[in-house]
Amino acid sequence: MDMQVTTLNEKKKGGVKQRRIICYIVLGLASFLCLFWFYILFINTTRSHSELSSGFTPIPSTHLITNMTNLFHGTQPVLKGMLNSLTVSALNCLVCVYFSAMTAYAIHAYEFKFKKALFTMILAIMMIPTQVTALGFIQLITKMNLMDSFVPLIVPAAASPIVFFYIKQYMESTLPMELLEAARIDGAGEVRIFNGIVLPLMVPAMAVQAIFSFVGCWNNYFTPALVLSSESKKTLPILIATLRGADFLKFDMGQVYAMISFSIFPVIIVYLILSKYIVGGLAAGSVKG
C-alpha cells in the first residue's frame, strides 16, 4: 500500500512538473512574440532612411542620435505634441474612469424606475461605432464653438459604456450592499460613501480601465484629426501621420520610427505605474474572499 501511495505521489509530482514546463514554454513564447516587435522598433530607430529602404536586419545601426536630432530639430512640434497628448490623455482617463465608476455605482446601489431599461440602453450604445456619430458630433461642437479645442476630446469620455460595464461587473462581485448600508447608518453622505469607500475598493478595476482609456486616447487619431486644426494643438498621432505623409524629398523613415519610439514611452510608464495597483488590488481581493 505504501509503495502504491509513493508511486501515485511521484506520478502527480511528475505531472505537475510537466504542466509547469509547458506553461513556462508557452509564456516564454508569448513574451517573445510581444517583445519582439518592440525590438524591431528599436532596431529601426537606429537605422537611417537608406538602410531602412535596403531591408530588415536584426543588428542595430549607429543613426539613433541622428534620427532623434532630426526629429527634435525638424518642422514638427514634437515636444508640444507630446504635451498635448499627455494633457488630453490624462484628463480623458480621469474623466472616463471617475464618471464611469459613478454611473456604475448609481446603477448598482440604487433602486429606481426603468433601471434595467437604462442599463440595457447603455449597453446598446456600446454597439455604435464612433465613425457613425462623427458627423453629428462635429456639427454639435461647431455650433458650440468648440472646434480646435481639447474640450471635445475630454468631456465626452464621461460617457463610456465599456468602462461603465466593466466597473459595474466588478462592483457586483466586490462591493457588498451591507457595507453601504452600514456607512449610511453611521451618517455618511452619498458623496462621502462613493469617494471614501467605493472608490478605494474599485482601485483594481479602475486601474485596468485607466490603462485602456489612456492608451486608447493616446493612440486616437480619428477624432483629434477632425477637431484640431492649429499646429500648436495637434497630438502625436497627427504629427506621426504628417511625417509619414511628407513628400518624397522630405520623407525620412528613420525620423518616423524615432517619433514612434518617442511616443510609446509615456504609455509604458503609465502601465508600469498602474500595474502594481492591479496586482496588489487583485491579491488583496483574493485574500479577503
Instruction: Identify whether residues 161 and 218 lie together within a single domain.
Output: yes
In 3D, which of 252, 243, 262 has the Cα closest to residue 50?
252
CA distance 25 to 33: 12
Instruction: Identify whether residues 39 and 73 lie together within a single domain.
Output: no
Please tell me the predicted confidence (pLDDT) of residue 87.
93
Please tell me the predicted confidence (pLDDT) of residue 29.
92
Q: Is residue 59 part of a domain?
A: no
pTM score? 0.81
Residue 28 pLDDT more than 80? Answer: yes
With a pLDDT cut of 70, the percent of the chain lying above it is: 89
Mean pLDDT for the chain overall? 84
* Segments forming the whole domain that contains residue 7: 2-45
CA distance 240 to 244: 6
Residue 89 pLDDT more than 90? Answer: yes
Please compute the mean of the pLDDT values over residues 108-119 and round it to a whole number. 86
Instruction: Identify whether residues 72 and 35 lie together within a single domain.
Output: no
What length is written for the chain?
Answer: 289
For residue 87, what is the domain's CATH number? 1.10.3720.10
Please tell me the predicted confidence (pLDDT) of residue 285.
42
